[in-house]
Amino acid sequence: MPKPKLLVVQVAALGWEMVQRYGLDLPGLFFQPTGSLFPALTCPVQGTMRTALGPVAHGMQANGVFDERLRKALFWEQSARQVRGPRIWDPFRENGGQVGMFFWQQSLGESVDWVLSPAPIHRHSGGMIQDCAARPADLYARLKTSLKRPFNLMRYWGPLASPASSQWIAEAVCSLMEDPEAPELLLTYLPALDYDLQRFGPSDPRCARAWHQTAAQLRLLTEAATQHGYSLLIYGDYAIADAPLGPVYPNRLLREAGLLALRSINRMAYLDLHHSRAFAMVDHEIAIIHTTSTAHREAARQALLAAPAIAEVRDSTDSNLIAVAAEGHWLSYRWWHDRREAPDYASHVDIHNKPGFDPCELFFGWPPGSVSQNDHRVGGTHGRSGPGREVAWASNALTGRPDSLLELARDLKDYLESGL
């Protein structure tokens, strides 16, 4: 007798308020609200959904990590070993089940059977070779043939990011479900609703197009899952809020307090984290403040709390701090005032060298070929949790009523341990 099957779909920015505003009608699925995590960010949520642990326990408290030994912030690194803890599917695999993970962060080296993840090669002479890492090794080649086109990384992030990225992913997963050898548990991620909500803010009518395209992609997945015997779990990771009050600059505050050290190179101001006493690793509405001593920690707290647009500075269990933007604001990683001080990477899509998340990469800048450095163009943000920031979820397999994504992950863990 064949094993029951489940498709899990994480949808970026699938907030409950968006579902109430536009509606989301999928056959056999009833959407409900639940609380997100804190911080409400992609990697913390994906870490929780694969471990049923909170961000502090699994180690992904942001989309970046700060290596204290290297004194370096590393964003969007893909090793699965960054996520601590046993996986919720481990007993399922031990009992002969197979698992596939498609377009999740930190999926390389994960304890799953099938993997597909963007993995471009950056050329020494500039530019890149677009590619995806795959397991089985021929999986991406098979999908390119099936879909008659490769995955376009330019549609996945940057000024050209669009629903075309999620469309390719949805079609690829539908193609995979047709394969009689496909894993019984499939986990995938649709990123594209997030782009226009960050560009314009969720209340902007220009976001309607992205919403309706995402809804169509979810219908495509729902129909294919039903056809091929997969039950469904669909959930949002965070809710994006309007940010009409603009950015706040934690690293400027630390610089002005004498806690952030810089190097001047050809008049550009680069971070010197080896000699900095405090540094804000910024990610949307939150920043993790890394300090070198208790005294510097308290000095950083006072410098940040002096800014009314920073709502609170929380203690972190690892002796650092977490700063949270006030409603309507978001946190920018920039530490310079004069654009002539901007490091070279500031005007480019450079997610690995920038020591903080930069939503300005969603906009073209000047001159042509660059990205915007105007923080005030950003319309939406996320990271906070609580009332008004609920996410939406629906399932025709799980029957509980979780009050948070952590509880949803635990329900999913119990479901898998029951053998699907």
CB 195 within 8 A of CB 162: yes
What is the per-residue pLDDT for 125? 77
Q: Answer yes or no: do 188 and 121 share one domain.
A: yes
- Asked if residue 181 is part of any domain, the answer here is yes
Count of structural domains within the chain = 2
List, for residues 203-234, the tens digit of each pLDDT value: 999 999 999 999 999 999 999 999 999 999 99
Q: Do 233 and 328 share a domain, yes or no?
A: no
Computed over every residue of the chain, the mean pLDDT equals 97
State the average pLDDT over residues 94-121: 97
Q: Are residues 188 and 50 both part of a single domain? A: yes
**Are 132 and 257 contained in the same domain?**
no
Q: Do residue 33 and residue 146 come from a single domain?
A: yes
In tens, the pLDDT along 406-420 reads: 999 999 999 999 876
Answer yes or no: is 66 within a domain. Answer: no
Q: Do 134 and 219 lie in a common domain?
A: yes
Are 222 and 343 part of one and the same domain?
no
Residue 296: partners with Cβ closer than 8 Å, 6 or more residues away: 259, 277, 278
Q: Band of the pLDDT at 123, cuts 50, 70, 90?
A: confident
Mean pLDDT of 105-121: 97
On the question of pLDDT at 1 being above 60, the answer is no
Would you say 47 and 106 are in contact if contact means Cβ atoms under 8 Å apart? yes
Percent of the chain beyond pLDDT 90?
A: 95
Q: What is the dihedral of CA 17, 20, 25, 27, to 10 degrees?
A: 70
pLDDT of 371 over the 90 cut? yes
Do 259 and 314 have their domain in common?
yes
Residue 236 sits in the same domain as residue 290:
no
Is-contact 214 236, C-beta < 8 A? no
Same domain, 370 and 388: no
**Statement to judge: residues 97 and 227 lie in one domain:** yes
Strands 64-67 and 72-75: antiparallel
Establish if 65 belongs to a structural domain: no
Q: Are residues 19 and 156 in the same domain?
A: yes
- Domain CATH for 36: 3.40.720.10
Q: How many CB atoms lie within 10 A of CB 93?
A: 18
Residue at 74 is within a domain: no
Distance of alpha carbon 390 from alpha carbon 35, whole angstroms:
5
Contact between 334 and 254 (Cβ < 8 Å): no
The reported pTM is 0.97
Question: Is the pLDDT score of 52 beyond 80?
Answer: yes
Q: What is the pLDDT of residue 269?
A: 98
Domain range for residue 213? 5-58+79-240+384-417
Average pLDDT estimate for 122-151: 94
pLDDT at 2 over 70: no
Assigned domain for 72 exists: no
The answer to whether position 67 is within a domain reads no
Cβ–Cβ < 8 Å for 114, 185: no
Q: Is residue 365 part of a domain?
A: yes
